[in-house]
Amino acid sequence: MEALSQISLGAAVLLIFAVCVLYMLIRGLLRTMTNLTVIALSLWIGFLTWQKAPTLAYQWTNQTSSLITTGLPILAFVMSFILIRKILKFFFTPIYTQPEEYEDEPPPSRSLVGKLFITFIFASALCLIAAAMLHHFTSIAEIRDHAKNGNLQNDFPSFAVRLKNSLSNAIPDSLMDKLDPLASKPRVELAKWITSASKTPSQVKIDPKTVDPLPRAAVIDNPELLSLAEKGRFSTLLRHPLLTQAINDPAIKKALGVK
């Protein structure tokens, strides 16, 4: 099954590149660059807004409303897509149309190899953005699996978790933490603690590595975070600003093994 997730990841990368190359051959290099830029920037802006949405919601309303945590990123993506298209159209639309005899004559520098190389660069950027988003949402799936199965998920991981593991093997943690800082390993582990605490709030949780009680007071017993875990809003839990504050607590850092 691990091989299946590796194949799926590799197939997705090849598919993105193949689609970009096919689009380039059909529509031309400039149009491909323009459209890939629009899609990549819009996705990235939407994803950054997705990461910041719970913090903004908490600052504005002192709670994490689903309307803001989910609606704001979608709005950011749509508005970015429309605005970037208009900006690029403004700058790249010619003031006058060239004569027909020159329209079909590409410049000598636009060789097939050059086109493929440029397309590869843009497709690679799109793959990195897709990888960051995939890493984030498979991390949410990992927390959801932990809520359902507890430690059994380590013995029987879901396809999403196996896909995340394959992604972690392909991309260094240092790079992934920069692309998706809100789904780092310590942060996901802390979210799992809160999920476990929401089911057994009175039970003292023991760190299996040190056999010491895990610190609860700073975050584990926080009503806001426990409520999110109980309601199954794991995506908001993972992005919550209180989790960011807790991850900087020295006691919790020590328990998580963060230096």
Q: What is the pLDDT of residue 171?
A: 84
Has residue 97 got a pLDDT over 60?
no
Among 8-17, 151-160, 183-192, 223-232, where is mean pLDDT lowest? Answer: 151-160
Q: Tens digits of per-residue pLDDT, 195-215?
A: 887 766 555 555 556 656 555
Domain end point (choices 150, 176, 202): 176
Model confidence at 115, in pLDDT bands (50, 70, 90)?
confident
**Sign of the dihedral through C-alpha 16, 17, 20, 25:** negative
Q: What is the pLDDT of residue 101?
A: 45
Comparing 79 with 18, which gets the higher pLDDT?
A: 79
Report yes or no on 235 lying in a domain. yes
Report yes or no on 125 lying in a domain. yes
Model confidence at 4, in pLDDT bands (50, 70, 90)?
very low
Ramachandran angles phi, psi of 62, nearest 5°: 65, 20
Report yes or no on 209 lying in a domain. yes
- Whether residues 64 and 169 share a domain: the answer is yes
- Whether residues 166 and 61 share a domain: the answer is yes
Instruction: Please give the residue range of the domain that contains residue 87.
Output: 1-92+112-176
Q: What is the pLDDT of residue 51?
A: 92
Residues 60, 64, 70, 72: what is their CA dihedral angle, to the nearest 10 degrees? 0
- Whether residues 207 and 141 share a domain: the answer is no
Has residue 75 got a pLDDT over 80?
yes
Q: Is the separation of the CB atoms in 190 and 206 below 8 Å? A: no
Model confidence at 152, in pLDDT bands (50, 70, 90)?
low
Domain end point (choices 176, 202, 232): 176
- Whether residues 162 and 213 share a domain: the answer is no
**Total count of domains within the chain:** 2
3-state secondary structure of 64: coil
Model confidence at 7, in pLDDT bands (50, 70, 90)?
low
pTM of this prediction? 0.76
CA atoms within 13 A on the CB side of 156: 5
Q: What is the pLDDT of residue 100?
A: 46
Domain end point (choices 149, 176, 203): 176
Please choose, from the candidates 185, 158, 164, the residue with its C-alpha nearest in 3D space to the C-alpha of residue 193. 185
